[in-house]
Structure 1
Amino acid sequence: MAGAAALGTVSQLWRYPASSLAGERMDAISVDRATVDGDRLFGLVDASDGEIARPDREAKWHKVPLIRTRLSEDRRLEVAVPGGDWLPAPDPRSDRAISTFLGFEASIRPFGQENAAPAYAGPLTEARYRKAPIHLLTTASLARLKALHPQGAPDPRRFRPNIVVDMVPIEGSFPETEWIGRKLAIGDLLLTVSEPCRRCGFTIIAQDGFDTDPGILRNLVRHNAHNLGVYCTVDRPARVEIGAPMRFV
């Protein structure tokens, strides 16, 4: 491994404390066997029926990715609607702010009691997706998408990666999609690329700084079998920082 040339370096790191809400950009993340520390601990539901947010399928949820999230130093969730202050969640104050922003009664709920504050006695919800440990995306693939769809904005936030690796573009290629089964070292973290990440309607939704764009998904369907980026399993957990090199093992 020591002699392998670097494929690229880590340029962005993300975790998503609440599913479907905006992610939290990090200088470093801690990765264990199952997940990124602090990733996808909470969900947003329709308070009338407990339905979990589906921005990829229902227009009523399309503004959800505009709601910011972060974890405090004591690992409590805080959320902020556009133009609003940071508020603790789950909490009636944040639920009211989110409900007003969305136009219907909505509520933040933990995916398990272990994710809630000790005093929390409210309802729980269940994660909608099977959670892959790591979602990795290269700037080379983003550059390929931009070449196919020059008028589009293939911002990483459309795709919700944990790790973005800055990598020289390869003409005509979404490179990581071709790495299934290969092993990667990112700093001290060891990963196996397990499967391509199949994209959904979430990728076309407007977020802060870019507009709704069906051409994003249309080009991925046409040119890369619906896929962008890859899921990885963890062979050796580690802390990863911005600037860490990525190599094949």
Structure 2
Amino acid sequence: MSGAGQTGHVAGRVSGLWRYPASSLAGESLAEMAVNADGAASDRLFGLVDAATGEIARPDASAKWHGVPSIAARLAGDGGLEIRVPAGQWLPALDEAADRAVSAFLGFEASIRPFRHEGAAGAFSPRYKKAPIHLLTTASLAELKRLHPRGNPDPRRFRPNILVDMQPLPGRFPETEWIGRKIAIGELELTVADPCRRCGFTIIAQEGGVDSDADILRTLVRNNAHNLGVYCEVTRPGTVRPGDATRFIG
């Protein structure tokens, strides 16, 4: 393995941090991110459902949900969720006005609700167990751009929690090679557990002007077994900040 995998070696530095307070909605960029054993603090507390059927939003599987990643989400100072549809205003999410705005944007009745683990009235269960931390490197984004020059591998398309800036390594998606390794990022320690297998979500237009592009996924299928980025287990909780070094510790 090259120097990028040597114990103690600085593989790169954090250049972006995101949490996703509402599943499938756009993420929230952070100046620092607290990480506990379950992942980023306040990540995926809420979800979006079809009010008539109870169906949970699945932008990867149904065109009716394709507008969802264009809806912005953030946590207010009091911890309450706020959402904003394109060209709209920020609205408290657990409010009829927010549901009306989302429904008008999507073209059917939809409602934002807390997941059941929050214990609130009207809560529901998520459709999958979230991975603790999703890490992606700029080197892998550069490799995707090399293979698909007309594409836009904007990191928001892939919804990482942590983006690590590192030098491009032509012909390689480096973090895929880190499976089983332990890394330290600031106060945080992680074990790289699994590659992140990509689905149709990556080809859909995203909030912030990220256009739809079916060749993004086709390129990953052909060149990296569907994968981009990695899922990590939390070995030691801590806070991460832009500029923090990413080091191999085992």
TM over 0.5: yes
Distance 1:191 1:113 in 2: 24
SS of the residue 2:103 aligns to: helix
Displacement after TM superposition at 1:5 (Å): 2.8
Alignment-derived partner of residue 34 in structure 2: 30
Alignment-derived partner of residue 62 in structure 1: 66
User: Which amino acid is the alignment partner of residue 209 of structure 1?
Assistant: G
Alignment-derived partner of residue 222 in structure 1: 222
Distance 2:211 2:32 in 1: 29
SS of the residue 1:195 aligns to: strand
Distance 1:28 1:19 in 2: 20
Q: Superposed, which structure 2 residues align to 1:134-173 within 5 Å?
A: 134-173=133-172
2:184 counterpart of 1:185: yes
Percent of matched pairs sharing the same residue: 66
Distance 1:84 1:4 in 2: 47
2:9 counterpart of 1:10: no
Give the counterpart of 1:46 among 47, 50, 66.
50
SS of the residue 1:164 aligns to: strand
Displacement after TM superposition at 1:114 (Å): 2.4
Instruction: Name the count of aligned residue pairs.
Output: 242
Given that 2:117 and 2:125 are in contact with CA atoms closer than 8 Å, whether structure 1 keeps it comes out as: no
Alignment-derived partner of residue 97 in structure 2: 93
2:118 counterpart of 1:114: yes
Distance 1:163 1:115 in 2: 28
Displacement after TM superposition at 1:206 (Å): 1.0
Distance 1:70 1:170 in 2: 34
Displacement after TM superposition at 1:211 (Å): 1.6
Deviations 1:201-243 (A, max 9, x none): 0000012322211100001001000000000001100000111
Given that 1:41 and 1:115 are in contact with CA atoms closer than 8 Å, whether structure 2 keeps it comes out as: no
SS of the residue 1:53 aligns to: coil
Alignment-derived partner of residue 81 in structure 1: 85
TM-score by length of 2: 0.94
User: Which amino acid is the alignment partner of residue 103 of structure 2?
Assistant: S
Given that 2:157 and 2:210 are in contact with CA atoms closer than 8 Å, whether structure 1 keeps it comes out as: no
Given that 2:13 and 2:245 are in contact with CA atoms closer than 8 Å, whether structure 1 keeps it comes out as: yes
TM-score by length of 1: 0.95
Distance 2:237 2:88 in 1: 37
- Cα distance change of structure 1 residues 42 and 223 upon mapping to structure 2, 3 Å threshold: same
SS of the residue 1:7 aligns to: strand
Unaligned runs of 5+ in 2: 1-6
Displacement after TM superposition at 1:126 (Å): 1.4
SS of the residue 2:216 aligns to: helix
Given that 1:42 and 1:115 are in contact with CA atoms closer than 8 Å, whether structure 2 keeps it comes out as: no
Distance 1:19 1:232 in 2: 18
Distance 1:92 1:193 in 2: 41
User: Which amino acid is the alignment partner of residue 107 of structure 2?
Assistant: G
- Cα distance change of structure 1 residues 198 and 113 upon mapping to structure 2, 3 Å threshold: closer
Give runs of ≥4 in structure 1 deviating > 6 Å. none
Distance 1:238 1:113 in 2: 22
- Cα distance change of structure 1 residues 21 and 115 upon mapping to structure 2, 3 Å threshold: farther
User: Which amino acid is the alignment partner of residue 216 of structure 2?
Assistant: I
User: What is the Cα-based RMSD across aligned positions, in Å?
Assistant: 1.1
